[in-house]
A = this chain, B = another copy of it.
Amino acid sequence: MAKTIDVYGSELVEDYAKVIRDFGLEVFDPSIFPEPNRIMRRGEVFAGRGLKIIADCIKNKKPFYVLSGIMPTGDKLHFGSKLVVEQISYFQKHGAKAYILVADLEAMASRGVTLEQAKQRALDFHIPAYIALGLDPKKTIFYFQSENKDVVHLAYEFAKKITLNEFKGIYGSADPGRILSAVTQVGDMVYPQLEERMPGIIPVGIDQDPHIRLARDVIRRVKDKKLFPISSIYHKFTPSLDGSIKMSKSKPESCIELPEDVKSVSKKIKRALTGGRDTVDEQKKLGGIPENCMIFELYHQHILEDDADLDKVYTQCKKGILLCGQDKIDACERMTKFMEDFVKKIEKARKIVPKLNFVRF
């Protein structure tokens, strides 16, 4: 029987290698893609499904798409969204047609947010934030689920292809709102293929794999549509500053939001778990343990774009030259710069939003 990941809850994936085995994923090999990005190079991207078909599209300059959804609740992103946008941006640069949908119907069906609230939040914050994080709006097709008749029609069509028990097997639970959300997501994932028959890839955190499996199962069952199976590519969670595997709003003191006030960020960084020794003397003698350090994790996954800069931090820490105090001061500076830059880019991107083309019914 397939294992269940709770996509709506907070269950953690303790061992990525085990996840790959349990869920039958492909191990991600960065050499299959040209010019792998930071997170591909550094093993933050660790697995996928159907990656070869996408690699072939890039290699042979054949059409393919990359797609992701915005859940327009709240007015913050998390670091996971940043990784998604960086992946979209990578595939855009390598020939993908990008689709960004606003999951307003899902927000209504599973979170009780009105369509109007969802629309306002997406236009005011989420879409500008995605652009700020590197999405190329000129090469992106945007739509609201509530305005995309084809997606809704696919959702109704696909509902017939899944039983309640399968649904429970995949998701663990099956509330009506969640069922509607899930079939609509499958509609989203497939929708670009109605426009043009081509493969597509979805970059996600591993906790989203149930949606991918559902989509792949449904696609197998609608043979007459001749759809390509959905490819997917998985990145690791951003660890919590206290060392647990996933940053989560449920522990706000260990979670940095995007954007977040720089003073608040600095306070959190100063309290973060590091790989320091018991005493300064000991650390100067033995060196630190960057593998255990949440600051280093942030650098590795997000903040230090240049591999040489990352290596330098690693080496100086190992040698006992860079101590935790200084490291945290540096991290606060870098995070401050990152946040200020991010907020400025959001402001700038807001001005582009009215010029974007949204697909409509």
A111, A115, A149, A152 — most chain B CB neighbours (10 Å)? A152
Cross-interface CB contact of A156 among B109, B173, B174, B175, cutoff 8 Å: B109
Q: Which residues of B contact A175 (CB under 8 A)?
A: 163-164
Our pick among B114, B152, B176 for the contact of A152 (Cβ within 8 Å) is B152
User: Is B361 touching A157 in the complex (CB atoms < 8 A)?
Assistant: no
Considering the chains assembled together, what is the distance between the CA atoms of A167 and B183 in angstroms?
18
Nearest Cβ distance between residue A165 and chain B, in whole angstroms? Answer: 9
Q: How distant is the Cα of A242 from the Cα of B112 in the complex, in angstroms?
A: 51
Are B109 and A159 in contact, with the CB atoms below 8 A? yes
Q: How close is A214's CB to chain B, nearest CB, in angstroms?
A: 11
**Are A109 and B160 touching (Cβ within 8 A)?**
yes
A325: shortest Cβ distance to chain B, in Å? Answer: 49
Contact of A174 with B180 at beta-carbon distance under 8 Å, contacts A108-B156, A115-B153, A153-B146 already known: no
Residue of B nearest to A146 (CB): B153
Q: How large is the interface on A (under 10, 10 to 19, 20 to 34, 35 or more residues)?
A: 20 to 34
A109, A110, A146, A361: most-surrounded residue (chain B CB, <10 A): A109
Within A136-192, which residues are at the interface with B (CB < 8 Å)?
A: 146, 149, 152-153, 155-157, 159-160, 162-164, 167, 173-177, 179-180, 183-184
Q: Which residues of B contact A114 (CB under 8 A)?
A: 157
| Shortest Cβ distance from residue A236 to the other chain B in the assembled complex, whole angstroms | 32
A176 touches B163 (CB 8 A): yes
Q: Does A105 contact B (CB under 8 A)?
A: yes
User: In the complex, what distance in Å separates the CA atom of A159 from the CA atom of B183?
Assistant: 13
- The answer on a CB contact under 8 Å between A159 and B146 is no
Indicate with 1 or 0, residue by residue over A225-256, a CB within 8 angstroms of chain B CB atoms. 00000000000000000000000000000000
Task: Collect the chain B residues with CB atoms within 8 Å of residue A155's CB.
Answer: 180
Could you tell me if A153 and B112 are in contact, using CB atoms closer than 8 angstroms?
no
A241 CA / B236 CA spacing, docked (Å): 67
> Nearest residue in B to A152 (C-beta to C-beta)?
B152
Q: Of all chain B residues, which has the CB nearest A176?
A: B159
CA–CA, A3 and B184, complex, Å: 32
Query: Do residues A177 and B160 form an inter-chain contact, with CB atoms below 8 A?
Result: yes
8 further contact pairs, Cβ within 8 A, besides A167-B176, A176-B179, A180-B180: A110-B160, A114-B157, A159-B177, A159-B179, A159-B180, A163-B175, A164-B174, A361-B361
7 CB < 8 A contacts A-B: A108-B153, A108-B156, A114-B157, A159-B179, A163-B176, A176-B183, A180-B180
5 tightest Cβ-Cβ pairs between the two chains A and B: A160-B177, A159-B177, A109-B156, A159-B176, A109-B159
